[in-house]
Amino acid sequence: MTNHSNYSEYIEKLFDNLKQGNTVALREQLSDDIVWHQPGQSSISGRYVGIDAVLELLNTMMVLSEGSLQVSLNNLMQNEHRVTATVWFSAHTESKSMAMSGIDLFELDHQGKIQTVCLFSEYPAHEDAFWG
């Protein structure tokens, strides 16, 4: 990819694929050695390396949220090969719920593949309590 101004479009596409549950398209967007930093001190917090580990994390999040996890993209900001997204995310089960703002930071390679994801939550303790 030679036009760096298009990196934000790759992130918009990522959010569309996440919303649709399109794991085939997600695989195409992620670098083989992607590193995903899931914040907090919950059962899913930590560093996930590789496409399979990241897709397993996303699946676990859907299972733990009983399929209710939703993430809405609000704003994208770009600086060279890095893109930040302000987001609103929510999930609920019969016994618990969460809803809050966050910021997601993405680093992409020159082909538009996502290499690094760092997530930030408005209320980390509340998110930790939800994920357990």
pLDDT for position 88: 97
Parse the chain into domains and list their residue ranges: 4-131
Pick the residue with more confidence: 80 or 38?
A: 38
Beta carbons of 47 and 65 less than 8 angstroms apart: no
19 pLDDT above the threshold of 50? yes
Mean pLDDT of 55-79: 95
DSSP class per residue in 13-46:
HHHHHHHHT-HHHHHHHEEEEEEEEE-SSSTT-E
pLDDT for position 2: 46
CA atoms within 13 A on the CB side of 97: 6
Residue 123's pLDDT band, with cuts at 50, 70 and 90, is very high
70 pLDDT above the threshold of 50? yes
pLDDT for position 5: 61
Nearest one of 90, 78, 85, 88 to 105, comparing CA atoms: 85
pLDDT for position 6: 82
Q: Fold for 4-131, please state it.
A: Nuclear Transport Factor 2; Chain: A, (3.10.450)
- If DSSP codes are grouped into helix, strand and coil, which group holds residue 89? strand
Pull the structure tokens for residue 79.
């600086």
4 pLDDT above the threshold of 70? no
Global pTM value: 0.91
Average pLDDT over all residues of the chain: 94
